[in-house]
Structure 1
């Protein structure tokens, strides 16, 4: 008798604390091992991932978007994004995993602002060489077993410099906006972070305005000016994105997913999903799993 396939009820979360107590892991890679990639499968991380590719060709799928990485390039993955690598050919480069608490808020803001239209960044060989030197120096601060050979403060300082260079490359590829927009950008960033952490409990735009001590009209005005979309769009975007992840990567029913996302009325959730995603939840699962 065949054993029944075990139901998937959650998306695996890889925790950096289980691999290192320093909040940083860095390593060089030459050709991703396909067996290891399949073994990893689709998952989330509770930390940032920064990758520099020195040469080669690969694909990474991040939240239902496939990104091609060619030649000298950089890309990042935010904490919580579901991702996997379906293809990789003759690649080499450097991988860094770093705890969010070690990433300066200004650097976090750079990555978060680019996440909606997340793309790889083509990098000059000179800039890649600069990052590679920094990564190699960081790597030298650990022994073969991953144990630190230098004080944590030294390692963290160099890691912060590495992340800073990485963020600066992305920032320079997107010309800075007028300084008058600084406050709106800060408010929008705080709003997006709040949505990311509270979307299961806070569903109403006015709740976010209250949490940020702002009027709803002003919050809407600011968020729309910076992102092009109103407050309600981002709340629904986060809810439906998480629902898509659960529909694809777990075997929970639509009703179970609705409850896990904070909806007592699963019929209302189904209507919301259809409106935002353009297809019913069951159809989305069928289409993406075929």
Structure 2
């Protein structure tokens, strides 16, 4: 595997920046395309294998996506294309255009999503929708309704994908305020985990008490606030250990720890292996 020694590139797609969305069929990916190297995207990526297959590495795990299967990659996850064959497409969507309703479901995976097969009927429906969507996005005509039509298709596509990953829980039986607070917490966490390290800091930002925040998060996710903070830190640490040659000290500092020894203790307690041992084991 080719690794950039000190930096994993973050890709900002020009077409997504201009139009909010881009649809790419992987049968048109050349050998020198940027997807062949480990990178991050700033967008949500929705993957649909209609025929054939797609093989990826996502956060140092190999993911195999067979035909009639959907998958998604969250902004910030490190991934690369390994191999593909047949009709496989990826839809990149600007996060600001993904409904909060869908984000709340997708973010529940916390970087542990798995490929999900869909029925023949749903696969045909998705393919038809994506074909029409691609035609609309490539149409140079700029009529007054085009942006509204495009936004409608983004909602439709994101909704069809998200439906397949919806955790089978009766959220309506839970405290709706707890669900809202959990979504707000996770959004805050994704942006601030390198800076904010304690439950009380997140509670202060969200203007609730620390016990109430913990109670709400545990009710909806089954885990505490401290667990999710730790989870975000360790997953990013593992990415940097695996994909770069940055020193442990540099990684600790990048993740908000001025004391390398303390960072090592935190990582080891969480993962039952030291940062250096994790790197040695996975190289």
TM-score > 0.5 by shorter chain: yes
The superposition leaves residues 184-242 of structure 1 with CA deviations (integer Å, 9 ceiling, x where unpaired) of: 22211211221111111111111011111111111112212222221111111111111
What CA distance in whole angstroms lies between the structure 2 residues aligned with 1:269 and 1:212? 26
Partner of 1:12: 9
SS of residue paired to 1:95: strand
Contact 1:141–1:149 (CA<8 Å) still a contact in 2? no
Alpha-carbon deviations, 1:27-74, whole Å to 9, x = none?
Answer: 3344x7572468631111000101111122333222233332222111
Match of 2:213 in 1: 219
Structure 2 gap segments, 5+ residues each: none
Residue of structure 2 equivalent to 1:141: 136
- Is 1:94–1:135's contact at 8 Å kept on the other side of the alignment? no
Number of equivalences: 280
Q: 1-side partners of 2:159 and 2:132: how far apart?
A: 15
TM normalised by structure 2 equals 0.89
Instruction: Tell me: CA distance 1:100–1:7, structure 2 relative to 1, closer, same or farther (3 Å).
Output: closer
What does residue 256 of structure 2 align with? 262
Q: What do you get for the CA RMSD once the two structures are aligned?
A: 2.4
1:1-290 equivalent positions in 2, closer than 5 A: 8-17=5-14, 20-30=17-27, 33=29, 35-36=31-32, 40-88=36-84, 90-143=85-138, 151-171=146-166, 174-289=168-283
Aligned-residue offset at 1:249: 1.4
Alpha-carbon shift at residue 175 of structure 1 (Å): 4.7
